Structure 1
Amino acid sequence: MHLPRRLVAALAALPLILAAACSGGGATAKPSVSGAAADNRAVKNGGTLTMALSADPDALDPSTSVTLLGREVFTSICEKLYDIDANSKLVPQLATALPDVSKDGKTVTIKLRSGVKFNDGTAFDAAAVKKSLDRHRTYKKSARISDLAAVQKVDVVDPSTVKLTLSRPFTPLIAQLADRAGMIMSPKALDAEGDDFGANPVCVGPFKFSSRTSGNQIVVDRAPDYYDASKVKLDRIVYKIIVDPNVRAANLKSGDVQAAEELATTTVAGVQADPNLRVISGGGLGNYGIDINIGNVKGSTEKTGPVNTPLGKSPELRQAFELSLDRNAINKTVYNGLYQPDCSPLPLDSPFRDKSRTCSTRDVAQAKQLVAKSGVKTPIPVKLQVPNDATNERLGQVIQQMTKETGFDVSVQPIDFATGLEQGAAGKFDVMVSGWSGRVDPDGDLSGLINTGGANNYAGVSDPGIDDPMKQAAATADQAERATLYAKVTQRAAEVRGNIYLYHNLYYLGMAKNVAGIRYYADGLPRLGTAGFAAK
């Protein structure tokens, strides 16, 4: 899970702000994502780049990591079997080509790069790949077990070939191997570090891990054994933890950092206005919205049951709640118009989206009718948990204001991020705002999130009209058939309304104008392997 960070904004004039937003008030110009992928300025050799991160990542262990911030650091130190390119297409990274898949879909053969070394000098080969994949699949602390649940065994065919035997056809596997489940760790380091691998990670990457000071910074240095070393220009990257978005922007303007990820939407305009800085955008794969507890009584992975709250019991009231919301006004009011309002978990440009579906617009009259028809006494109490930062508290206030008009009494309950996730998984909430950083394959935006027993299915959704087509879609490689099946999934999910999606969040990366070579794609991960300081 991943949630946007802080945003400083006054709430005293909220009704006036809402009115301005609904009338189409001005918004910051949107930086172009193409600016990052197309930045081909010559980069000089050497130097240290300091990048501000919005939070301290969890342990740098590909098997156990669950944070977006960890994935950002991994782009520099831990390569994968596959990756995505600027067009969100799957491409080989440590593999040499896309896999060879048997006709029955149950045997996947992967050819590997030869002559590659890990950052401790040991050889990268099929045996090392097997060791990492087996650890991802079976390590008791692994968060990758569900990612690779279809994999029954991994065999070494020869030093440059591995064969994966699946229990069932699983088309999303390649996309999983383009994320942490496809990161390959040094077998020597795994043997030496064991459970502590995340404190001293060793993989294949343009940079090697050097040091970490908890809550302060992570340092990585140029890797001398990297197979594509000629493309690496920086000597060192310092990932500096600066949680406050205003401090992050101020450090960027002062030159104390040369890049800063996840600029708050309130700081984007100020950074853009600085003649020494520029802003580029990435992301769009993820989604953000509201989880309504409709069945999570004992934990997201446990059997669902009845939830005794007005919204939990009534799909009609959930519909009324959604009809109370104006996604465009929320975007303008809370995010300066810099996000992408939407009602689907799938990205706007996904080929798997149901093009026939349109999002509901705010309809106060219909919402009031549904509330009256329910027979529930108004105002209807709703406890809304939000992360305790200014952005999400503001979002909660806007939702409170919009739904008050249609008969709901929303109490906004700020809670720290980690505790909120724990309570979400345990089902100890009424309604909560929640986000997902997004994946390139649609299965990654649905499986585990809205299917029965999914670890991140905080709403407790359990419906065969969702589960069955989702399983069928994962088992076929036919894109048209998958699109038809995912249309059924998203349509049924929209009817159940355990999740009300609000928008796809973009990420804004600020940097000094002399910084070049950063690649920033739809996954929102700044890739620094070719970054450096412009030669001119």
Structure 2
Amino acid sequence: MRPSPRIVAALAVLPLALTACGGGGSSGPSAAPSVADASADNRAVKGGGTLNVALNADPDALDPSTSTTLVGREVFANMCEKLYDIDAASELVPQLATALPEVSEDGKEVTIKLRDGVKFNDGTPFDAEAVKKSLDRHRTWEKSSRQADLEAISKVEAVDATTVKLTLKRAFTPLTAQLADRAGMIMSPKALDSAGDNFGTAPVCVGPFTFASRTSGSQIVLDKAPDYYDAAKVKLDKLVYKIIVDPNVRAANLKSGDVQVADQLATTTVAGVQAGPNLKVVAGGGLGYYGLQINIGNATGSTDKPGPVDSALAKSPELREAFELALDREQINKTVYNGLHEVDCFPVPVDSPYRTPDLQCPKRDVAKAKQLVQASGVPTPIPVKLTSPNDATNQRLAQVIQQMTKEAGFAVTVETAEFVSTLEQGKSGDFQAMLSGWSGRVDPDGNLTNLVTGQGSNNYAGMADPGIDDPIKQAAAAQDTAERAELYSKAMKRAAELRGVVYLYHNKYYLGMSKNVAGVQYFKDGLPRYATAGFVA
């Protein structure tokens, strides 16, 4: 499910270390930050200055075609604009486009109007040919991780300088949402021609800031972009991203003033940062999720045909139900995360317009779990190997799961590894159960298709069921929101019966900031935007 500090083939899986950033601190629950989002702070900011931002990991290559990390998306948000974006209400809005796409009646022709007079950060003109070049690279380059995002496109045409027409193989309503992420990032054709496969070492896009330098494992420097079409609104001279992996050190650097912003605070450090007289915490995120995958059919690889898996959980849906019933999501949230995430058992957020109200979560029921275990006839305690990334918070989560399921008759053995290794195990099917998560997309297709449908590259559980695949495919072709919601509901209910993924919560992200910083935008995608940020005048 989503990324690590290093790239792993075409994966898009995110460790808890990159979502909640746990480790250390107090274990008792604390109140969620009172500020819902940073956009509420509209204080005037002065021009100039350098904003130092602590990142919780070192991004992979800064190439929109190959990037797979959430932390990479954080950097892109300030130097690589997309055809579309989301706003504070999680609505899709034009960015490099001038309006939402015009779609033909059969849904197979999509016309996009582009901004005129825009330049890339190397001075190259932005036009339809540049858009075509980037989209074709995203969807056809063998090294691209965007191929699945744009698979529905069969042809890209530059109609004129400010118009692009996309011809689709089939109607695909989620396309606009895909173009509001890395698949919609447009790169300088001049830079692509000169750098080729090495574009990520010195990326050039349209954006408020332009890439200046990178020191691996240390920092990434962005300068204010002089050719940006809305340069007057950009106040900062420079953004310096400092890589500070340890969550306690990240919080300490914020408190000392060495950095003025710290991303993805550990839930255990939120209260301490809030207590600082010159600091504040704002909340974002919520589109993604975290939980555990149970291998039920990934015998030889997530993109191969499913096959039999030799484990008690894989063979018995009833045992998987018992395993889930032994878990107390509310208690996990309080014990591991100080109550700062949003408990849920489905991949689509509760407040999504694509979420039907009949999707409800089971409460913990140890008595029923024991009955299911006894009825299975499998000798107890039933052994389960749980693979976990080796950061402190994931290990704590694994231990809580271990203790809860023990009461129902399971004997969970926790096996930890570097996050990259857990991804490799997930993709190859070399696991029984594994902690993993996904950073989330505004359209539910982005939380489902590649993660729970047959042979999806991130479908580590190996689920392959027409009751999941068919309604998801139908929903992608439908345009009515209510119709799509019903179809997604049908698919998610079936997936909940199979329990290849046991969802635990939706990730909330917490951004720590100096009180003299304003103008930051922080939405449900968890990507801090600094185009209008600066120091208070």
Does the Cα contact within 8 Å between 1:260 and 1:509 map onto a contact in 2? yes
Picking from 334, 337, 349, the partner of 2:336 is: 334
Which of the numbers 8, 15, 21 marks the counterpart of 1:3? 15
**What amino acid is aligned across from residue 7 of structure 1 in structure 2?**
G
Contact kept in structure 1, 2:55 and 2:263, CA below 8 Å: yes
Measured in 1, the distance between the counterparts of 2:442 and 2:249 equals 32
User: Partner of 2:5 in structure 1?
Assistant: none
**Partner residue, 2:287:** 285
Q: Secondary structure at the match of 1:63?
A: coil
Distance in 1 (CA, whole Å) between partners of 2:341 and 2:489 is 23
What is the CA distance between 1:28 and its match in structure 2?
A: 1.5
> Counterparts of 1:122 and 1:35 in 2: how far apart (Å)?
35
Match for 2:22: what amino acid?
L
3-state DSSP class of the match of 2:450? coil
Contact kept, 8 Å, 1:9 with 1:394, in 2: the verdict is no
C-alpha displacement of 1:32: 4.0
Residue 151 of structure 2: aligned partner: 149
Deviations 1:41-92 (A, max 9, x none): 1010000000000000000000000000000000111000000000000000
**Structure 2 SS opposite 1:501:** strand
Q: Deviations over 1:242-273 (max 9, x none)?
A: 00000000000000000000100110000000
Q: Which whole-Å CA distance do the structure 1 matches of 2:143 and 2:496 have between them?
A: 34
Out of 517, 522, 525, the residue aligned to residue 524 of structure 2 is 522
The answer to whether the Cα contact below 8 Å between 1:33 and 1:521 also exists between their aligned partners in 2 is no
SS in 2 for 1:227: coil
SS at match of 2:474: helix
1:35/1:150 CA distance change after superposition, 3 Å: closer
Name the structure 2 match of 1:394. 396
Q: Is the 8 A contact 2:208 2:230 kept in 1?
A: yes
**1:476: which partner in 2?**
478
Taking structure 2 as the reference length, the TM-score comes to: 0.96
1:222 counterpart residue number: 224
Matches within 5 A, 1:347-426: 347-426=349-428
SS for the counterpart of 2:78 is helix
User: What does residue range 48-59 of structure 1 map to in structure 2 within 5 Å?
Assistant: 48-59=50-61
- In structure 1, the partner of 2:467 is 465
1:63 aligned onto 2:65: yes
For the 8 Å contact 2:79–2:206, the answer to whether it is kept is yes
CA distance in structure 2 between the partners assigned to 1:34 and 1:360 by the alignment:
28
Identity of aligned residues (%): 70
For structure 2, the residue ranges without an aligned partner over 5 or more in a row are 3-13
Give the SS at the match of 1:492: helix
- Cα distance in 2 for residues equivalent to 1:315 and 1:278: 46
Return the offset for 1:35. Answer: 3.8
Residue in 2 aligned with 1:200?
202
CA–CA distance in structure 1, aligned partners of residues 457 and 255 of structure 2 = 41
Equivalent residue letter for 2:320 = R
What SS does the corresponding residue of 2:176 show, helix, strand or coil? helix
The secondary structure found in structure 1 opposite 2:77 is helix
- Cα deviation digits, residues 266-297 of structure 1 (max 9, x gap): 10000000001000010000000010000001
Using the alignment, how far apart are the partners of 1:239 and 1:9 within structure 2? 23
> Could you say which residue in structure 2 is the equivalent of 1:23?
none
- Among 82, 85, 96, the alignment partner of 2:84 is 82
> C-alpha displacement at 1:10, in angstroms?
8.7
Q: The residue matched to 2:330 in structure 1 has which SS?
A: helix
Counterpart for residue 8 of structure 2: none
* AA aligned opposite 1:304: P
CA contact (8 A) 2:37 2:284 kept: no
Contact 1:380–1:408 (CA<8 Å) still a contact in 2?
yes
Distance 2:180 2:471 in 1: 24
Runs of 4 or more consecutive aligned structure 1 residues displaced over 6 Å after TM superposition: none
